[in-house]
């Protein structure tokens, strides 16, 4: 069974640009969560989608958005990038909410 | 107060010893608790899940939960250098958000 797939693996952008990250969950998993990981803050919850609906959102500005498609694949978008957005963005999937999460390898975003 | 708190470490233990990792959480309604291991440069991987008060054992790992004290711990018996990693505690908050602590870095020296 394929694991959680995130693309791209690495991304370099400049301030003010926007970026879209993609996540394909494990087959049969309907919940997709996104996290931002930085050395100082650890894993910060961004949002969680279940059956194409955003069920939960963390404390991030509106520049961070996401969506989930009918096949459970998810994308997250960050607009007007700031230097502080440089981080590892991790996607995780689970069969249902509140179940164990399986993580992808992440997208390492660098904002210059 | 942070929702999920862990000591950042590093926790250094000799090979063969028991490593004890601790985590406290703020939401009394939390029902699901997880321990993840993250090696440097890798993504977190699930080690244990626990839902009821008491102990749950899986090989060299034992998770302990005390909901009254809002405390969850992970014991690693016969620690090996390959156990050296950051251990993340995760707790469901507001019933449906999984929130992670900042992690405890464990170092097992030969």
Residue B2 has pLDDT above 90, yes or no: no
Residue A15 has pLDDT above 80, yes or no: yes
B96-110, pLDDT tens digit by residue? 788 999 999 999 999
Q: How many CA atoms are closer than 13 Å to the CA of B44, on its beta-carbon side? A: 32
| Mean predicted confidence (pLDDT) in A75-94 | 97
CB A46 within 8 A of CB A52: no
A53-66, pLDDT tens digit by residue? 999 899 999 999 99
Read off the pLDDT band of B95 (50, 70, 90).
low
Read off the pLDDT band of B44 (50, 70, 90).
very high
Q: Is A79 exposed, middle or buried (0-12, 13-18, 19+ CB in 10 A)?
A: middle
Identify the closest residue of chain A to B95 by CA–CA distance.
A98
Question: Are A101 and B97 a contacting pair at CB < 8 A?
Answer: no
Nearest-CA distance B95 → chain A (Å)? 8
| Mean predicted confidence (pLDDT) in A78-104 | 93
Question: Are A56 and B44 a contacting pair at CB < 8 A?
Answer: no
Identify the closest residue of chain A to B35 by CA–CA distance.
A100
**B34 contacts in chain A (CB < 8 Å):** 100-101
| Mean predicted confidence (pLDDT) in B4-24 | 95
The neighbour count for residue A21, using CB atoms within 10 Å, is 22
- Give the C-alpha separation, A51 to A82, whole Å: 30
- Give the C-alpha separation, B71 to A77, whole Å: 36
C-alpha angle A98/B51/B82, rounded to 5°?
Answer: 90
Read off the pLDDT band of B81 (50, 70, 90).
very high
**A31 contacts in chain B (CB < 8 Å):** none
Buried/exposed A25-41: b ≥16 CB within 10 Å, e otherwise: bbeebbbbbbbbbeeee
Residue A30 has pLDDT above 80, yes or no: yes
Mean pLDDT of chain B: 93
- DSSP for A32-88? EEEEEEETTTEEEEEEEEETTEEEEE-S--TTEEEEE-TTS-EEEEE-S--GGG-EE
- Give the C-alpha separation, A14 to A80, whole Å: 9
């Amino acid at each position: 069974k394929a694991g959680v797939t995130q693309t791209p693996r690495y991304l370099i952008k400049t301030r003010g640009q926007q970026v879209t990250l993609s996540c394909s969950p494990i087959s049969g998993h309907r919940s997709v969560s996104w996290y931002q990981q930085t050395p100082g803050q650890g894993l910060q919850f961004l949002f969680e989608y279940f059956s194409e609906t955003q069920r939960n959102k963390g404390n991030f500005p509106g520049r961070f958005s996401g969506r989930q498609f009918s096949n459970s694949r998810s994308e997250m978008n960050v607009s007007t990038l700031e230097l502080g957005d440089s981080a590892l963005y991790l996607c995780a999937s689970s069969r249902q909410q509140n179940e164990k999460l399986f993580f992808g390898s992440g997208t390492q975003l660098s904002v210059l | 107060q942070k929702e999920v708190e862990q000591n950042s470490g590093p926790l250094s233990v000799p090979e063969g010893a028991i490593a004890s990792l601790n985590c406290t959480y703020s939401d009394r309604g939390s029902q699901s608790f997880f321990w993840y291991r993250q090696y440097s440069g890798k993504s977190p991987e699930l080690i244990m899940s626990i839902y009821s008060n008491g102990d749950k054992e899986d090989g060299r790992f034992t998770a302990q939960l005390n909901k009254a004290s809002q405390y969850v711990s992970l014991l690693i018996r016969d620690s090996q250098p390959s156990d050296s990693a950051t251990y993340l505690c995760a707790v469901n908050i507001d019933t449906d958000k999984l929130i992670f602590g900042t992690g405890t870095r464990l170092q097992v020296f030969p």
